[in-house]
Amino acid sequence: MQVQRVVLNSRPGKNGAPVPENFRLEEITLAPDLKDGEVLVRTLYLSVDPYMRCRMNEDTGADYLTPWQISKCVDGGGVGLIDSSRCNNFAAGDVVISFNWPWQTHAVMTGSDLQKVDPQLVDGHLSYFLGAVGITGLTALLGIREKGHITKRANHTMVVSGAAGACGSIAGQIGRLDGCVRVVGICGSDEKCKAIVEDLGFSTAINYHLEDVPTRLKESCPDGIDVYFDNVGGAISDAVIAQMNNGSHIILCGQISQYNKDVPYPPPLSEETQKNLQSKNITRERFTVLNYMSKADAALCELSQWIKSGRIKVLETVVNGIENMGDAFCSMMKGGNIGKQIIKISH
C-alpha cells in the first residue's frame, strides 16, 4: 500500500521561526501484514500545536517532550479509524486517538498507543477530539479549575491572552460560565477580536498589534484583574500582570511569544514583573494538563455537554491535505488560525 508521510527535513535552530521547508513530504510503501497487537489505521485529522516548536530542537527543554529526528516521520495528536486489527481492544471502524500519531495517511500502530473514543461525545465532529473535546479543551477547563480560583458572585474579571486560539477561545467561555462578570481577550487581529466578542461572548477584545494594551486594559478592567489565563508570556503578560489585583491568580498555560528563542521554559520574568507578583501576592504556578489526566473523563463529559447545549461555541481553522502540514504548523505559530488549527487528511 502506498502512503504519504511527513518527515523532519531540518531544524530551525533554537533561535528563529520555523519554516515549511523544515518539513518534507515522502511516499513510502506500507507492508499490510500486521503482527499480534498491531492495527492498521486511516488518518482522518491531525493537530499542529505550539509545543511542537520545542520538538523541532535537538533538546526540547521539557522532560515530557521528545525531539523529532531528522528524516524520521513527525508525530503528534491525531484521530482516525481502525481499518484492520490484530489487537483485541479494537475492531474495524472504531474511532481512535493518540498523542503520538504519525503524520502519515495510513499507519501501522501498536494498540497500546491508541485510545478508543465515542463519536457521540462530539456529535460526529471528530476533529473536536483534537481540540475542544480533547487536550486543548481539557487544558482550558482544568487550568481554570486547578489554578484560576474563580469564585461565583465575587464579580471576578478574567483576562485571556492568545484569546482567539484553541485554548484561549475555550478558556474565555469557561471563565464566563464559571461566573466571571467580565472576560477580556487579547489577540492579534481585528477579525479575531470580532469573533471572540460577537461569536463567543467575550466582554471586550484587544488587538495587541494595533492597540495600546495597558491603556485598553485600564478601560476594559475598571476593577482590576482577578484571573489571567496566560498563553503567550512576554510584553503582553507584563502589561496584564501590572494591572492584577492583590491575591489574584495566573494560569500559566503557555508562553508562545518565547518559543522561537533560546530560553528555558518558563522563560525568566523581568525584575519589575517579579516585584509585582511578590508585592501583590499573585499566584503563578506552572500548569501542565498531562499532570491532571485522572480528571480528564469527567472534564471531557462537561465540555461535551456544554458544546452540545450551545453554551460553548467551537472555532476551527481547517486545512486540507497532508502536504500542507508544515504550512499549517508555521501559520499557526504566526497567528494564522482562529480557534483550533486542524489538518484534514481523509474523509
Ligand X SMILES: NC(=O)C1=CN([C@@H]2O[C@H](COP(=O)(O)OP(=O)(O)OC[C@H]3O[C@@H](n4cnc5c(N)ncnc54)[C@H](OP(=O)(O)O)[C@@H]3O)[C@@H](O)[C@H]2O)C=CC1
Ligand Y SMILES: CCCCCC(=O)/C=C/[C@@H]1[C@@H](C/C=C\CCCC(=O)O)[C@@H](O)C[C@H]1O
What residue ranges bind ligand X (CB under 6 A)? 49-51, 135-136, 139, 162, 164-168, 187-189, 192, 231-232, 236, 253-257, 287-289, 332, 335, 337, 341
Smallest distance, Å, CB 64 to ligand Y?
Answer: 6
Q: Which does 239 bind (CB under 5 to 8 A by kind): ligand Y, ligand X, none?
A: none
Is the CB of 82 or the CB of 164 nearer to ligand X?
A: 164
Q: Which does 100 bind (CB under 5 to 8 A by kind): ligand Y, ligand X, none?
A: ligand Y
- Pick from 99, 145, 149, 224: which binds ligand Y (CB under 6 A)? 99
Q: Which does 54 bind (CB under 5 to 8 A by kind): ligand Y, ligand X, none?
A: ligand Y
Is the CB of 111 or the CB of 326 nearer to ligand X?
A: 326
Is the CB of 14 or the CB of 280 nearer to ligand X?
A: 14
Single-letter residue type at 208: Y
Q: Which does 65 bind (CB under 5 to 8 A by kind): ligand Y, ligand X, none?
A: ligand Y
**What residues between 41 and 70 interact with ligand Y by CB under 6 A?**
50-51, 54, 61-62, 64-66
State yes or no: residue 290 binds ligand Y (CB under 6 A): yes
Is the CB of 33 or the CB of 63 nearer to ligand Y?
A: 63
State yes or no: residue 288 binds ligand Y (CB under 6 A): yes
Q: Which does 257 bind (CB under 5 to 8 A by kind): ligand X, ligand Y, none?
A: ligand X
- Pick from 32, 70, 92, 100: which binds ligand Y (CB under 6 A)? 100
Q: Which does 61 bind (CB under 5 to 8 A by kind): ligand X, ligand Y, none?
A: ligand Y
Question: What character string, x for contact with ligand Y (CB under 6 A) and - otherwise, covers 125-144?
Answer: ----------x---------
State the Cα–Cα distance between residues 100 and 330, nearest whole angstrom.
19
3-state SS, the chain, equals CEEEEEEECCCCCCCCCCCHHHEEEEEEECCCCCCCCEEEEEEEEEECCCCHHHHCCCCCCCCCCCCCCECCECEEEEEEEEEEECCCCCCCCCEEEEEEEECECEEEEEHHHCEECCHHHHCCCHHHHHCCCCHHHHHHHHHHHHHCCCCCCCCCEEEEECCCEHHHHHHHHHHHHCCCCEEEEEECCHHHHHHHHHHCCCCEEEECCCCCHHHHHHHHCCCCEEEEEECCCHHHHHHHHCCEEEEEEEEECCCHHHCCCCCCCCCCCCHHHHHHHHHCCCEEEECCHHHHHHHHHHHHHHHHHHHHCCCCCCCEEEEECHHHHHHHHHHHHCCCCCEEEEEECCC
- Enumerate binding residues for ligand Y (CB under 6 A): 50-51, 54, 61-62, 64-66, 99-100, 135, 254, 265, 288-290
